[in-house]
Amino acid sequence: MFILNIASPLTLLLLVLAVALLIFLGQEEKNSITVAIPLISFLILLVIHVVQVVTLSTEYAYLASTLYKCIAIDFLFILVTFFAYLWVDDLEAKANNIKSIDNSLDWFWKEI
């Protein structure tokens, strides 16, 4: 059974660097679509990992712990990229003088 193991240290390091670079690029260009790409990618990865856990046969039971780690990492990346998306969307809205998707976190952005 093939598993995209994002829990291995090298893969995790590369993912952190790629996501950080995409967030920085989105912040510099003031383009929220750039930050939405990793968010959507991690949502798709989460669905794939959950389907793999649900359909895991007994002969591959040793992979369950790895899949659970991958799901936890997926949730962590989704949380980070979601807040980054909201932040970059707010920056884009202020730069273009348009209404942001969600202004409920204005108090949070003022503290950062």
Statement: residue 52 has pLDDT above 70: yes
What DSSP designation does 34 have? H
Give tens-digit pLDDT for 56-94.
Answer: 888 988 899 999 999 999 999 999 999 999 888 888 888
Measured CA to CA, the distance from residue 28 to residue 56 in angstroms comes to 42
What's residue 100's pLDDT? Answer: 63
- Kindly provide the b/e burial profile for residues 21-32, where b requires at least 16 CB atoms within 10 angstroms of the residue's own CB: ebbeebbeebbb
What's residue 37's pLDDT? Answer: 95
3-class DSSP state for residue 5? coil
Statement: residue 112 has pLDDT above 70: no
Give 106's pLDDT tier (boundaries 50, 70, 90). low
Measured CA to CA, the distance from residue 63 to residue 86 in angstroms comes to 35
**Residue boundaries of the structural domains of the chain:** 10-111
CA atoms within 13 A on the CB side of 112: 11
Statement: residue 26 has pLDDT above 80: yes
3-class DSSP state for residue 7? coil
What's residue 87's pLDDT? Answer: 87
Q: What is the CA radius of gyration of the chain?
A: 17
Statement: residue 25 has pLDDT above 70: yes
More confident position, 61 or 106 = 61
Give 102's pLDDT tier (boundaries 50, 70, 90). low
Task: Indicate the helix (H) or strand (E) that contains 36.
Answer: helix 32-54
